[in-house]
Amino acid sequence: MSPDRILLYCRAGFESECAQEIMDHATENGCTGYVKAQKNAAYVEWVETVPGDAKRLHRSVAFESLVFARQWFLSLPMMDNLPETDRVTPLLAAFRSLQVRLGHLWVESPDTNQGKELATFCKKFTAPLAQRLRQQDLLTKTQNPGRAWGHAFFLDSRRVFVGYSTADNRSVHHNGIMRLKFPHEAPSRSTLKLDEAFLTLLTEEEREERVRLSDKAVDLGAAPGGWTWQLVRRGLFVTAVDNGPMDPGLLETGQVVHKREDGFRYQPKQPVAWMVCDMVEKPRRVADLMATWLVKGLCRQTIFNLKLPMKRRYEELQSCLHRIQGKLEAAEIDYVIRARQLYHDREEVTVYIGIC
Ligand SMILES: C[S@@+](CC[C@H](N)C(=O)[O-])C[C@H]1O[C@@H](n2cnc3c(N)ncnc32)[C@H](O)[C@@H]1O
């Protein structure tokens, strides 16, 4: 059997944005299908109506370009009524029908309260299923990143989606979630957002080339200093702009200057390598500020959050990104832009822009 749909995981509550995004890509690539999405389910299905279109769409779109999907894979229709006494046999048959030798197996569930209750079940189920897949030569002995990876995505103990993701076009993390340990010395939990952004939105090469010891950075809306802490940890010297108080420990590092100023007015006297911004403001206002810094050459790289409004979140995000792109293009600036709703984000999307 050939997969006839793409399953996309997202943050619970963002199914409609995830659906709009994949529909836009389908339209752009001339793929015909429809979306099945349920509010707060934390996943979305894109179902082909023309055979082969799910595979074509999956091949045509780079996973990294998706903002709202944490993971995606080519899937068979949902299997329900799995027998409680032997779930492995029907799953084996499903994997065999895909005719793909897998380099790894993920047994997963939606990132919802109900899905989390399945975590132990998924963990326990992984070894027996992997063993049987190996016996049938459907799964390599050791993890192989160059091959398709199998996914069994359980909605409950009787309903599951089975399919595979392809090499270099997926998240390598279980459930598409990058788990990071909170560093206890950091002044706020939002430190994880910037850490995840560096790890997700920049390649390893870019991190080496673009984040250099002793570079100068500005953090707009810095207090109490979770993001500044990440910059300091990476060896940067930071001007932290915020009317609120900064963590005293950070100021003692000698790498931080605190300016109690308005982040929308502050401008550095000399250009800096990095500007990051986590101010809670209308996304359009933040987008325009970011474009101004880049066009004026005040920074070469930026990571910032766009807090999404209550309604029309997808449209608002698109409009903000287009505004920035329009201004950079008008100024004939070459750039890369990547946007993603990170695991540590809530009602926001994180954007990286680097001048080439
Ligand atoms: C979400 S918090 C930032 C948290 C910070 N990134 C961290 O990791 O600790 C938002 C901050 O933006 C600041 N802020 C909001 N509007 C601002 C403005 N116009 N100028 C400077 N700071 C502003 C607030 O004072 C607040 O401290």
Please say if 123 is a catalytic residue.
no
Q: pLDDT of 137-163, one tens digit each?
A: 999 999 999 999 999 999 999 999 999
The residue out of 130, 151, 176 marking a domain boundary is: 176
Pocket test residue of 278, 302, 304 for ligand 1, highest count of atoms within 8 A of CB: 278
Residue 98 pLDDT more than 90? yes
Considering the domain boundaries, does residue 183 fall inside one? no
* pLDDT recorded at residue 197: 98
Q: Decide: 240 and 222 in contact? Cβ < 8 Å.
A: yes
Provide mean pLDDT across the span 41-67: 98
Strand partners, 237: 216
Residue 36 pLDDT more than 90? yes
Considering the domain boundaries, does residue 35 fall inside one? yes
Considering the domain boundaries, does residue 260 fall inside one? yes
Query: Do residues 41 and 162 both lie within one domain?
Result: yes
Catalytic residue among 141, 282, 307, 327: 307
Query: Do residues 208 and 128 both lie within one domain?
Result: no
User: What is the largest distance, in Å, between two alpha-carbon atoms of the chain?
Assistant: 70
CATH of the domain at 237: 3.40.50.150
* pLDDT recorded at residue 243: 96
pTM recorded for the entire structure: 0.95
Considering the domain boundaries, does residue 168 fall inside one? yes
Residue 185 pLDDT more than 90? yes
Instruction: Give the closest residue to 22 by CA, choosing from 5, 41, 35, 3.
Output: 35
Q: Which domain holds residue 84?
A: 5-176
Q: Report in angstroms the alpha-carbon separations of 241 from 24, 72, 223, 244, 265.
A: 38, 38, 8, 9, 10
* pLDDT recorded at residue 354: 98
Tell me how far apart the alpha carbons of residues 170 and 172 are, in angstroms, rounded to a whole number. 6
Residue 318 pLDDT more than 90? yes
Query: Do residues 308 and 334 both lie within one domain?
Result: yes
Query: Do residues 172 and 195 both lie within one domain?
Result: no
The residue out of 151, 176, 201 marking a domain boundary is: 176
Q: Is 260 in the pocket of ligand 1 (CB under 6 A)?
A: no
Q: Is 354 in the pocket of ligand 1 (CB under 6 A)?
A: no
Query: Do residues 160 and 221 both lie within one domain?
Result: no
Q: Is 223 in the pocket of ligand 1 (CB under 6 A)?
A: yes
Residue 1 pLDDT more than 90? no
Query: Do residues 164 and 50 both lie within one domain?
Result: yes
Query: Do residues 166 and 230 both lie within one domain?
Result: no
Q: Decide: 307 and 281 in contact? Cβ < 8 Å.
A: yes
Query: Do residues 10 and 132 both lie within one domain?
Result: yes
Q: Report in angstroms the alpha-carbon separations of 106 from 77, 114, 177, 269.
A: 18, 18, 12, 51
* pLDDT recorded at residue 41: 98
Pocket test residue of 185, 242, 262 for ligand 1, highest count of atoms within 8 A of CB: 242
Q: Which residues, including other chains, have CB under 8 Å from residue 74's CB and lie 6 or more apart?
A: 3, 5, 6, 54, 55, 58, 163, 164, 165, 166
Q: Is 71 in the pocket of ligand 1 (CB under 6 A)?
A: no
Considering the domain boundaries, does residue 182 fall inside one? no
Nearest atom in ligand 1 to the alpha carbon of residue 190 is 8
Query: Do residues 106 and 229 both lie within one domain?
Result: no
Query: Do residues 30 and 146 both lie within one domain?
Result: yes
* pLDDT recorded at residue 17: 98
Strand partners, 243: none
* pLDDT recorded at residue 79: 97
Query: Do residues 172 and 199 both lie within one domain?
Result: no
Instruction: Give the closest residue to 80 by CA, choosing from 168, 187, 161, 193.
Output: 161
Whole-number mean pLDDT of the chain?
97
Query: Do residues 89 and 236 both lie within one domain?
Result: no
The residue out of 148, 176, 204 marking a domain boundary is: 176
Q: How many domains does the chain have?
A: 2
Considering the domain boundaries, does residue 301 fall inside one? yes
